Structure formats: C-alpha cells, structure tokens
Amino acid sequence: MTINISALAGLYGSHLDTIQARHDRALEKAGASHAVIFSGAPNRVFLDDYDYPFKTNPHYLGWLPLTNTPYSYVVYTPGKKPILVYFQPEDYWHKPPDAPSGYWVNFFDIRIVNNVEAALAHMPESRDKTVLIGDIDDDAQAFGIERINPTAAMNVLHYARSVKTEYEIECMRIATRRAIAGHKAAEQSFRRGASEYEIHMDYCRACSHTENELPYSNIIALNENGAVLHYQYQERNAPSESKSFLIDAGARYNGYAADITRTYANDDEFQALIDAVDKLQQKICNQVKAGMDYRALHLLAHRKIGDALTEAGITTGSTDSLIKNDVTSAFYPHGLGHLLGLQVHDVGGFMAGETGVTIDPPPGHPFLRLTRVLREDQVLTIEPGIYFIDMLLNNLRDAAGGKQINWDVVERLKPFGGIRIEDNVRVQANGAENLTRNAWAKT
C-alpha cells in the first residue's frame, strides 16, 4: 500500500498547532504553566521476566507519530518549542528505538537520553506549576510532579479530542485502507472454508500487522459464534459447514484506528437479512451531519431494525410495539456506535462540554457509547446489527414481546449467529464522508 508521506508532512504543522492550542487551554483551566506528557512504561508479567505488549499513551500519540517509544516525554510550555525527551537505551538484550527521523522532527527540540533518570534534567523547574499526563505506576516516572492527570485539564483535552484535524483524518484514511485489505483477504478465506484462526492470520498478513499492532483483538466468528458480541476466540478447526462469517477487525496508522465490521453467508435467506441490515445501515449513515443528536440516530436504528425484522418474517406487529416490548433490544442489544480516533472507543463520547458534565443515553439504552450532538470533523462508527442470542430472546418467551416473535424462523436462523455492519464516518457540515465505503470502492 502506497502512503503519501509528503501529504502527511504538509498537514502535520497545522495539526501540531491545534494540539498546542488545546494544551494551552487545558493549562489555563488547570492553573498551570507546563505540561509533561509521558509515553508510558511497559508492564511486567506477574512472576516472570518479560513485559506485556506496550501500549502508548494516546495523549502522547496526539503529539507524535511514535507508537513504540516507552519512557519518553513531551515537555510543553506555551509559546515555546515543545521538547521531546527521547529514551534510547544502550541495550544488547533488546533493540533500542531508531534515531528520531521523519517529517515531524523539526517541530521539536529533541533530547536523547540513555537512561530514565536522565530525563529529570529536562523537566520544568517549577514542578508546582506543571501537570503530568499519562499512566504513572512508579513515582520515579513523575520526577516530583504531583499534579497527575488533573480533572480540569483532562476534561478540556478529552472534549476537544473528538474533533479531528486534517492530519488525523488522513491517518485514519490510511488505517482504513489497511483494514480493508485485511477484510477482503478474510472474506476469501471464509469462502474457501478456512478456520477462524486461519482467517485471522490471513487478515493480519494482508494488513501487515502483528496481533500486537492491531487496535483491538479481532472478532473472527463463524456460524453461531457471530451471536457473541465480543467473541474472543479463534477456533483452530474449521466447522463441518461454514454457514456465516462475522468479522469485526481494524488497523492502525500512526496510532489512529480503523474499526470495520462485515458479515457474509452461504445461505440465501440469511444473506437477504444481511443485505437488509446493510441497506438500513447506509440510510443511517446518510443521516449523519453536524448538529445531529447521535442519540436520535440510535433510536432511528431501532426503528429500522424493527422494520427489517418484520420484513424478514422474524417478528409481527407494529414497529412501535416491537420497541415498546423490548423486542428490538433483544435482537439488537448494543449501541449504534462510538467515537473513533487514537483509541477505538475514543474518549469524550458522553461529554456535554469541557467542564466534564455528561449526557445520559436514552432510557432503556445503557450501552450507547456516544450521546453528543455531532460536530464537524468528528469521526464515529455506525454499526447496527441483528443477533440470535438465546439469553436475550428467552427472556421474552413469556412476555408480551414473545408473542410477536416467529420462533420457528428464529430457530432456523440461530445457527448463523448474527449480523453487524460497521462503517467509519466523518461528520461534515451537511452530510458525512464515509471513510470505509470510499476506501472499499478504491481498494
């Protein structure tokens, strides 16, 4: 896959200006003069001598495209060039990070240190006027800075982070193209009867990721496993018959994530239901625009799921009654989507403003992860679904909603598990850019 580095270089300076302005605001709200952003430290496996895979602090990644530089710090004082304290140990057990290079280096005063203690010399002198942002599990990592992740500063940064810069959106387009290459390879594996494990490995090869580089653990679900929303295993043996395939899998670039779900079937009836979910999902995507309340989109999804269930002969009665009797919630028990960016479930989804006041989900919909009124250049997911989950459907058997369910049809479709269709969508003033569909058409 070709990446236009010069295009990213042209966007990075403006992105960094935005990041600095956000930290200026955060420092003002916190009554501080300096910000220190810690990249993070590896966590040691209990009773062993090696570490869990390292995950970089997303606040650090917002400054720099460095996804694997533990024990490093960005030191920022408004009006001054940011300092990068770059940890490059002298080590023969592990390969140290390469020397800093790339389009971003000239924007930083880079100071290389060979041991963690040496970073102390590059910290602000006035520790009482400094805030530290990051996951600190050892006081030595804080260098005497006592204000760690202060609420006033974090609220400002988290609320603002939902709006993406052009640089960030371009990184997400690249991550999307990587993910789609994996998705297309995974579908081919399913069509030839591969196991979940084999499909997963083909996905990773196609998007050029190790498992540790993926933004989240792939959901690779054949047949009834597709009814488990966050199915976590990869069976080594292929089923005797591959009826259906649900894949929820993403990719990363410079720390920014793509998060895409597709469902496939080798059965005309279930494929028709997949097509119905795909169609309604696109109708919801077409409603995305700045000023739209995401909660309203979620409730719209339930109406469209109700319509689709009835059209497929799975339920009877009005859509209003299916919603009232919790039938749509049994077949579609999760939220419509979430913010996306440096984290798959990016922060700030419930925030009404930078003070930290939150917006509740609609009554009866506790799993919705995004409740905000949409703003231009937010990136979010739209991911409705229909699932055949025994635990939820059995709760309706003796209730009013159970009388609206055609149980014979449910029994016939249960072996196919479930359906989810997920795209990543950029909010625009009068519509949306569907990052997933646009890239899929070009890949």
- pLDDT at residue 348 in the model: 97
Phi-psi region of 102 (alpha: psi -120 to 50; beta: other; left: phi over 0): left
- pLDDT at residue 186 in the model: 98
Q: Specify the fold of 5-161.
A: Creatine Amidinohydrolase; Chain A, domain 1 (3.40.350)
Model confidence at 2: pLDDT above 90: no
Give the homologous superfamily in CATH for domain 166-442: Creatinase/methionine aminopeptidase superfamily (3.90.230.10)
- pLDDT at residue 187 in the model: 98
Within the chain, all domains assigned CATH 3.40.350.10 are found at: 5-161
Contact 330, 395 (CB under 8 A): yes
Contact 74, 104 (CB under 8 A): no
Model confidence, pTM: 0.96
The pLDDT of 20-35, averaged and rounded, is 98
Q: How far apart are CA 186 and CA 183, in angstroms?
A: 5
**Per-residue pLDDT tens over the stretch 317-336:** 999 999 999 999 999 999 99
- HSE-CB for 152 with a 13 A CA cutoff: 11
Q: How far apart are CA 150 and CA 157, in angstroms?
A: 11
Average pLDDT, the chain: 97
Within the chain, all domains assigned CATH 3.90.230.10 are found at: 166-442
Handedness of CA 354, 356, 360, 361 (dihedral sign): positive
Model confidence at 145: pLDDT above 80: yes
- pLDDT at residue 1 in the model: 75
